[in-house]
Structure 1
Amino acid sequence: MDEFDLDGVGETRDEAESRGQATWTIGELAREFDVTLRTLRFYEDKGLVSPRREGSARVYGRRDRARLKLVLMGKRVGLSLSEIREMLDLYDLRDGQVGQMRAAVERFNAQIAILERQRRDIEQALDDLKRTVSLVSGMLRHREARED
C-alpha cells in the first residue's frame, strides 16, 4: 500500500466525480490492497464503501479508495468495523474535519495504549516460553546423557 493519505475520504460522490476523478474496478482495488472481492463486497454491504454501478459493474472512485485505505488501516491496528464506521461517519459531517481529527486522535491514542499493553503481554509470554524451552531442553539433555 502506498503512503497513507486520507485525501478524498470526506468527499461526496458528486464532488469527486465533478473533479474528473480516476476510477477503479473491484478487481483493481482488490489487487492493489491485497484483499478478496468478497471482502470488498462485505465492506460495501456494511456501508463502508459505496461504489457506483455501471450496469452490473462496481466502479470505485477516489472517495471509495480513500475510505478503503482507512478501513484497512483500522483493521490492521485492531479497530472493530463499528469503530471504523464511526470514524468514517465523522468525515461525512463536513465540519472542516476538526471534529473527526479530534475523534481520530482520541481513538488512535486509545488503540496505541491497548497495543502497547498487548506487546508487553506478548514479550512476557515469549520470555516465559524461552525460559521453559531452556529448562526442558536441559532436562532432556540430562536424561539423554543418562540413557547413553
Structure 2
Amino acid sequence: MKNQIKQMMDVSRTQTAISVVEEDLKLSQVKLRASMSTECNLKDQIKKLEDDRSSLEAAKAGLEAECSTLRQKVEVLNELYQQKEMALQKKLSKEEFERQEKEQRLSVADEKVVLAAEELKTYKQRIEEMEDELQKTERSFKNQ
C-alpha cells in the first residue's frame, strides 16, 4: 500500500511535472509563433525598405541627371546672355557715338544758322540804309 501511495505520489508528481512542462511548452510555442510572426513582419518591412531604397536611388539618379542637364542649360544660357549683353553694349556704344556726332553736327549747323541770321540782319540793315540813301538821293535829284 505504501508502494501504491508512493507510486501514486510519483505519478502525481510526474503529472504535475508533465503539466508544468506542457505549460512551458505551450508558452514556448506561443513565444515561438510570436517570434516567427515578428520575424516575418520584420522580413516584410526589410523587403519594403529595400524596395523603397531602390526606388529612391533610381529617383536620385534621375534627379541628378536632370540637375546636371539643368546646370548645363544654365551655363549655356549664361554664355548666351553674356554674348547678347556684349552685343547690346556694342550697339549702345555705337548709337551713343552716332548721337554725339549728330549733336556736334547740329551744334555746328546751329552756329551756321546763327551766323547766317546775323548776316541776314546785317544785309537787311544795309539794304535799308541803301534804300534810305537812295531815297535821299532821289529827293536830292528831284529838288535839283
Q: Determine if the TM-score, normalized by the shorter chain, exceeds 0.5.
A: no
Q: What TM bracket, shorter-length normalisation?
A: 0.3 to 0.5
Give the number of the structure whose residues are more often helix, by fraction.
2
Task: Tell me which structure has the larger Cα radius of gyration.
Answer: 2
Give the number of the structure whose residues are more often strand, by fraction.
1
Q: TM-score, normalised by structure 2?
A: 0.37
Q: Which of the pair has the greater relative contact order for Cα pairs under 8 Å at 6+ separation?
A: 1
Q: TM-score, normalised by structure 1?
A: 0.36
